Structure 1
Amino acid sequence: MTTTTTISQHDFYGDGDSETSISISVIENLKEEYGLFVWPCSVILAEYVWQQRSRFRHSSVLELGAGTSLPGLVAAKVGANVTLTDDASKPEVLDNMRRVCELNKLNCNVMGLTWGVWDAPIFDLRPNIILGADVLYDSSGYGHHLIEFLMVKWGLKCVKLLDGFSFLPSYKASLLSGNIQLVEIVLSSKNHEL
């Protein structure tokens, strides 16, 4: 199978001066491998991170199923300490994540993480924020009942924040399609200890 490798450019603009604008380069390998191209939901989550950059600055961030890592890279650019993860059985995706970090001159930790397989390095992480763009697209690895069980067990609730297109700049929204919602899973106020 022939693959095409390209570098896509993703720009994030602030208040009109270059001090509040960033650009991220992403190496994409356009073949049928989930983690090697930028998904639309990743663009939306990255824009959310950018617009909420003061919340991410100086935070410890973990991105699950990072793939090409666009949201995590934006978090790192705005000053977060970022750990990027993806399926441990996909070394080509993990290698691409490292190359993308080097390309953008960012010092992110890259780790293999397979859903349901928990090892010591994961328990050493203490993120303030966990990012995930479209990490629940394939239920064969976890099942909806597992998610519901964990939500109850850990006292979590899912809050819809925004329609994914409602806060995107129009030039970005015009390039994307689908029904994408931005949600946040938060610790219930009645359960502060895990």
Structure 2
Amino acid sequence: MMVNVHTVSQAFTPKQAYTARINVACINIIVDAVKQDVYNHVPVERVGRSLTPAQMDSSRLQQAKESVKRITFRDASGQCDIGVKQVLDSAYGCYIWPSALSLSNFVWHHREQFTNSTVLEIGAGVSLPSLLLAKTHHVRHVILSDLPSILPLIQSCFKLNDIDQALYDICELQWGDLEAAKRMIAMVEKQQKNRKIDYILGSDTFYDPADFEKLLMTISFILQHHNPECVFITAYQERSAKRSIQYLLDKWHLKCKTIPNSSVGEWSIVEDHQDEASVSTGALSSVFLLEISLQ
């Protein structure tokens, strides 16, 4: 299939298209009243260059301002409170973006699907989907991966939520580095014995076109050399109707399908010092979910 943002966006109803206008309001719910505005920490020229986490200066990350957010996911069967430590810096992996919320919302409403599974999150950043799975005790194990400078942030988020260290591992994994992927696979197979990675999760992984092939190369390698039944579920925010990954999917022997927006439902967010806000996923109509697997 042609994975084209314009084509996918046509699937939304007029109501969902209208609610896209409140995307900025949704982001304001997430990035709370430190009210220096996250955007003041992301100069326009940096946004224009589409900085990736690999371009981040780790010393600046250590000096950046931190804040803690609480997000509550709930439905008729219960709720789960997640604390997330954010770093207000130009490193996009260091705070919550709408795609992470959409993926986490999907995970919450389909958490039974992940029961007793082993999950790898790539480009984990604040690791919201994995925190949710670990805290609800649905997964057998989670592996969090990102660039070296982001790993301390991941560790602090898991400590903040009192997650048992036996439930997770944190490792460096740069997309396109197949030696690092081999080491990660060896670690999983040694620690999990006969277990395999069942799911790979990623939020906003298709952000910088320069990284698309490295990402899909890494996904293909893990699936082909570790578990052909594994699937990669990622949330993508539409930024250009001209982008397509079909030729890269074909090159790396992968296939892709969209996950229907209707399969997610509604969710609630509770912020410190703010009233509860209930947000329909229609408010994030520029974000959609993909499931990628081997052909």
- Establish whether residue 14 from structure 1 lines up as the match of residue 53 from structure 2: no
* Matching residue of 1:95: 152
C-alpha contact (below 8 Å) 2:72/2:81 kept by paired residues: yes
Match of 2:267 among 156, 163, 169: 169
C-alpha contact (below 8 Å) 2:123/2:146 kept by paired residues: yes
More relative contact order, 1 or 2 (CA 8 Å, 6+ apart):
2
- Trace 1:177-192 onto structure 2 (pairs within 5 A): 177=284, 179-188=286-295
Letter in 1 for 2:293: V
Q: Percent identical across equivalent pairs?
A: 29
* Matching residue of 1:121: 183
Residues 123-174 of structure 1: CA deviation (Å, up to 9, x unaligned): 2233100001111101223449966566336643111012389623371348
- Distance change >3 Å, CA 157–CA 142, structure 1 → 2: closer
- Establish whether residue 3 from structure 1 lines up as the match of residue 73 from structure 2: no
Q: Distance in 2 between matches of 1:165 and 1:55?
A: 13
Q: Distance in 2 between matches of 1:164 and 1:179?
A: 14
SS across alignment from 1:25: strand
| Deviating more after overlay: 93-102 vs 114-123 | 114-123
* Matching residue of 2:204: 134
* Matching residue of 2:131: 73
| Deviating more after overlay: 51-60 vs 146-155 | 146-155
Cα shift at 1:86: 0.9
Q: RMSD of the alignment, in Å? A: 2.8
C-alpha contact (below 8 Å) 2:147/2:173 kept by paired residues: yes
Name whichever structure is richer in helix by fraction: 2
Q: Distance in 2 between matches of 1:4 and 1:178?
A: 30
* Matching residue of 2:169: 109
SS across alignment from 1:26: strand
C-alpha contact (below 8 Å) 1:28/1:38 kept by paired residues: yes
SS across alignment from 2:279: helix
Letter in 2 for 1:83: I
Q: Distance in 1 between matches of 2:152 and 2:281?
A: 31
- Establish whether residue 151 from structure 1 lines up as the match of residue 209 from structure 2: no
Instruction: Give ranges in structure 2 of 5+ residues lacking alignment.
Output: 1-59, 189-195, 218-244, 269-277
Instruction: Give ranges in structure 1 of 5+ residues lacking alignment.
Output: 189-194
Q: Distance in 2 between matches of 1:58 and 1:138?
A: 33
Q: Distance in 2 between matches of 1:165 and 1:86?
A: 28
Cα shift at 1:10: 1.1
Cα shift at 1:34: 1.3
SS across alignment from 2:125: coil
- Distance change >3 Å, CA 175–CA 149, structure 1 → 2: closer
* Matching residue of 2:146: 86
TM-score relative to the length of structure 1 = 0.81
Give the structure with higher Rg (CA): 2
